[in-house]
Amino acid sequence: MLDDANVLKQRDPAGALAVAAAQYAQAEFEVNIWNEDNDQRTILNVVVAGMGGSALAALLVKAWLKADIKVPFEVVRSYDLPSYVSENTLVIVSSYSGNTEETLSALEQAEKKGAQLGIIAAGGVLMDTAASYKVAHVSLPQDLQPRMAVIYNLRALIGLLANFKIVGSEKLDEIKATAGWLKLETEQWAGSVLVDKNYAKQLALLAVGKTPVFYGGTLTAPVAYKWKISWNENAKNISFWNELPEFNHNEFIGWTSHPIEKPFAVFDLVSHLEHSQILKRFEVSDRLLSGQRPKSTVVNLRGETAIKQLLWGSILADFVSIYVAILNGVDPTPVPLIEKLKQELA
């Protein structure tokens, strides 16, 4: 089925595969910061407020630049900011639509506390606010599903962090330098590449009809979270994620009461850049759980640098989950139930 061009076209009418295939180009997105609004105040901590794919970029930054960011850096995925937020906090609010109610709530609180502000959006109330009050902001390209705009979001976030001297601007260059390599890598996952040579299709066939559980380490945890997001929204399937070493202190033992024939598919998202003990934990955990759960499928993230691995793994998540959607007979692009929920809440 996955090698039939007609089936791919019929079951992916909005062209999600084409969008996934073009994600490498987001690494070259030109970040223009409007109303730079840097009054040189001392920044003691950073809070990024966003939901779903908008929060994911911040989680990627935390994993990638944990040795570079010298102030506390928190990601808020709810309505309320931490009580410590003050005029010495940089609060970056991020919502692709610009209308996410949790993010708008965070913006209102940040304004009341006099925090240094940054905004990332493709439109909506956030862009109106940025323009009206001359807040430092980055405008994202429109007409994408937020989960497919993560690299745009990452570029924008790094641009704002550089503007406020939290990281160096060379980090934008590091992301940009991955584009050509990502293009060559992700071309191998295109619909025209047959199953026997297409890693993304092979992983989809391993997982279809099962409930996937994705595991990452300290570095790859946001990639595991991205796989969960993509599975939920593209494949329209439930999925779960966790990270090591925390997994070994609770969830690890939970598998021992689940018969192996239960319909799970376990994926370990592994980077050779992880702490050596985390790499050992992946191997030992799978061995000790033999017969208690399905054997894990190890996805070794490609690339010699952390940013290459994080972006490679994130794009692969979309390809695999889109192929699962096609196998499931569902359109991978729309998320009508989420839109209905927003209408009901409004």
Q: CB–CB of 220/301 below 8 Å?
A: yes
> What does the CA dihedral 229, 145, 128, 338 come to, rounded to 10 degrees?
-60
Backbone angles phi, psi at 250, to 5 degrees: -160, -70
> Where would I find the H helices in 242-275?
251-254
Whether 275 sits among the annotated catalytic residues: the reply is no
| DSSP one-letter string for 139-152 | EPPSSS-GGG-HHH
Report d(CA 87, CA 44) in Å as an integer: 9
CA distance 63 to 240: 20
User: Which of these is catalytic: 249, 261, 304, 344?
Assistant: 249
Q: Which residues partner with 268 through β-bridges?
A: 215, 298
- Nearest Cα to 212, choosing from 309, 311, 300, 293? 293
Residue 30 CB-density burial (10 A; 0-12 exposed, 13-18 middle, 19+ buried):
exposed
Q: Burial, 78: exposed, middle or buried (Cβ in 10 Å; 0-12, 13-18, 19+)? A: exposed
Catalytic residue (choose from 233, 236, 274, 308): 233
Q: What single-letter DSSP state applies at residue 290?
A: B
342 given a catalytic annotation: yes
| Count of residues making up the chain | 346
Residues assigned a catalytic role: 233, 249, 342
